[in-house]
Amino acid sequence: MMGRAATIIEGPLATARLCVHHLHAPNADPNAPRVLFLGGSNFDLRLKRSFLDSQLTCRCSVLTFEPRGIGRTERPDGDWIMQDYARDALAVMDTIGWQRAAVVGESFGGMTALHLAALAPNRITSMVIASATAGGPAHRSFDISSFLTLSREEAAAQALCLQDSRNIALREDNPQAFAALLAQRLLFEVSFASPSVDTGGYARLLDARRAHDCRDVLGQITAPTCVLAGRYDRQARPKAQQALCNALPDASFHQFDAGHGVLFAAPDATATALDAIRSATTYRVGT
């Protein structure tokens, strides 16, 4: 039966670059794949914990952390770029003592994973990229920084319709059902705002996200990669995710009846990700 990992280690982790709030869910099986999970742009572990109830943490040893600017992770001075997020991920692996791992990146985390794979290809056994694009004028993800100028309620409503196009029709055809979704999303938006929005950390992360463009290095990324797309995703459109897959030397594309949260919203997507991780895992503990 699916359930949470038996052991969860969580708290501040001082790395050579910055102090992050991390979560480590080791697996009792010493041969279980090691997975570095990179969450989306609003990956605040106070609020984003559903992955703990997925097969990912049942079958793998999972390491994750709140990215710089979000939640309880530090917010260093200066401008941030996507390579900073990739180097932060490497610093977390170094501090934990992981030489190699599979990398699962969702949305913003998928963008980070691509930069990480270009920066340190020898550290990655395989990748799963969910709901993310390579960037560039033709295939960039929607610039969600525009939501920061909206009221929290309007931002929540637009996010729902952007992340899943089926919610556009739901808003018209079943206002009561849409209102229930909106109330849930608004609760998240309000909780997420402190400290991530209030401190400016989220805006700085979105500045880095806006400049994301790794098209020039895709041909150098040799890690076996599984690209997962939601058919109803308007934030990272399936066409752009297919283009990402086509540009990678060793990648497969999988589309599911889901929106932007395809990785954990569609059980078949999670199973596909696990199959890809297991088939590419060639290391054991200590390597």
- Model confidence, pTM: 0.95
> What span, in angstroms and rounded, lies between the C-alpha atoms of 258 and 129?
15
At 79-117, the pLDDT tens digits run 999 999 999 999 999 999 999 999 999 999 999 999 999
Is residue 133 classed as helix, strand or coil in its secondary structure? Answer: coil
| pLDDT of res. 281 | 67
The ranges assigned to domains in the chain are 9-148+196-280
Instruction: Strands of 189-249 (E only): list them.
Output: 225-230
Q: Which residue has the higher pLDDT, 12 or 2?
A: 12
Q: In which order are the strands placed within the sheet that holds 101-106?
A: 9-14, 19-25, 61-65, 34-38, 101-106, 124-130, 225-230, 251-256
At 185-201, the pLDDT tens digits run 999 999 999 999 999 99
> What span, in angstroms and rounded, lies between the C-alpha atoms of 147 and 155?
5
> What span, in angstroms and rounded, lies between the C-alpha atoms of 264 and 258?
10
pLDDT at 287 over 50: no
Q: What angle do CA 160, 243, 257 make, to 5 degrees?
A: 40
| pLDDT of res. 1 | 38
209, 135 in Cβ contact below 8 A? no
- CATH fold of 9-148+196-280, please? Rossmann fold (3.40.50)
